Amino acid sequence: MAAVCDSDSPVSVISARLTGATHMACSRTLGLLHLFLVWLHVSGQRPEAPGDNGGWGLDSSLHDEGHCSVDVRDVNSITHAEFIREYAYTKPVILRGLSDNTRFRLLCTKANLLRKYSAKTVRLSTANTHSYRKVDVQFEEFVKFLLNPQSEDTLGSDTLYFFGDNNFTEWHSLFEEYTSPSYHLPYTSPAYSFGIAGPGTGVPFHWHGPGYSEVIYGRKRWFLYPPEEAPEFHPNQTTLYWVTHSYPTLELWNRPLECTIRPGEVLYFPDRWWHATLNLDTSVFISTFLG
């Protein structure tokens, strides 16, 4: 009968039962497990349960991810030169495997962010195209009381959204753990915007310079138009309202490029492309703007 490592038994007892290669393999496995548990204890981290979205919840009623009309490229199948030639200045693309942010993802669980930043002040913005109102609250208050699903009849000016107005001094230790996309544009430098948002939230159509968007937890649906095709939308109506009432009436030729990105996927959008977003779950995300 093959010997089996019994993690409930003391290492000394297990070692006495095993010989040869099996003994060495099991001892090595137990040793690595011990080191991992020590690291968890020292760092204050806890293993993330599979499928729990980092503790942020998966109770969204928004199941429609739409279809994906944006090119999807595995990073092993496209070089930096091809990215520049085919996408950087012409159209969006989803890149998979661009970077490994496993540790950053662990740091962004709900428990870990609350443990470190609960008393910190975060600045919320209204989620309309021309956003002017800002509200400062404690991070714990935002997570526990303001991070709620949004209904389609809520105006953008009444929706508070945590994205972009980050204190880069207090949040520096988190941001330095993020591995930004490696495909940069010439003569640009990256700037990060970190956000957390509830199901049904998002920002209506707007445009700015080029950049990347990566989802750490949850799903984010994107709608994109090229610079010369300005979409019709109300700047104070939410993306959820637009998706429910305006999107179904569009002719096929007038529909945007769209996609839903998930953890591990990075969306690149070129300069001045119109885009709107809709969070299908409670989402944690980070954008890299190339200024």
- pLDDT, position 164: 83
Cα distances (angstroms) measured from residue 250 to each of 54, 92, 203 = 36, 21, 20
Q: What is the SS3 assignment for 33?
A: helix
> Does position 231 have pLDDT exceeding 70, yes or no?
yes
E strands, the chain, are 71-74, 93-96, 121-126, 134-138, 160-163, 190-197, 211-217, 220-225, 257-261, 265-269, 274-279, 283-290
Q: Does residue 8 register a pLDDT over 50?
A: no
Q: Which two tokens stand for residue 195?
A: 């956000």
Chain-wide mean pLDDT for the chain? 83
**Residue 157: band (very low, low, confident or very high) from pLDDT cuts 50, 70, 90:** confident
Higher pLDDT, 97 or 157: 97
Residue with the two structure tokens 């969006």: 92
Checking if the pLDDT of 12 tops 70, the result is: no
Query: What are the tens digits of pLDDT across the range 193-219?
Result: 999 999 999 999 999 999 999 999 999
Integer Cα distance of 259 and 103 in angstroms: 26
Quick: pLDDT tens for 59-73. Answer: 667 778 999 999 999
| Maximum mean pLDDT: which of 11-25, 116-130, 152-166, 222-236 | 222-236
- The answer on pLDDT for 266 being more than 90 is yes
- pLDDT of the residue at 130: 78
**Model confidence at 158: pLDDT above 90:** no
Percent of the chain with pLDDT over 90: 62
Query: Would you state the structure tokens that stand for residue 16, as one six-digit string?
Result: 């006495």
Q: What local confidence, expressed as pLDDT, does residue 51 receive?
A: 56
Mean pLDDT of all residues in 155-180: 88
What CATH code is assigned to 53-290?
2.60.120.650
- pLDDT recorded at residue 40: 41
pLDDT tens digits for 98-152?
899 999 999 999 999 999 999 999 999 888 887 678 999 999 999 998 888 888 8
Q: Give the predicted TM-score (pTM) of the model.
A: 0.81
pLDDT at 159 over 70: yes
* Residue with more model confidence, 173 or 164: 173
**Domain segments of the chain: what residues?**
11-43, 53-290
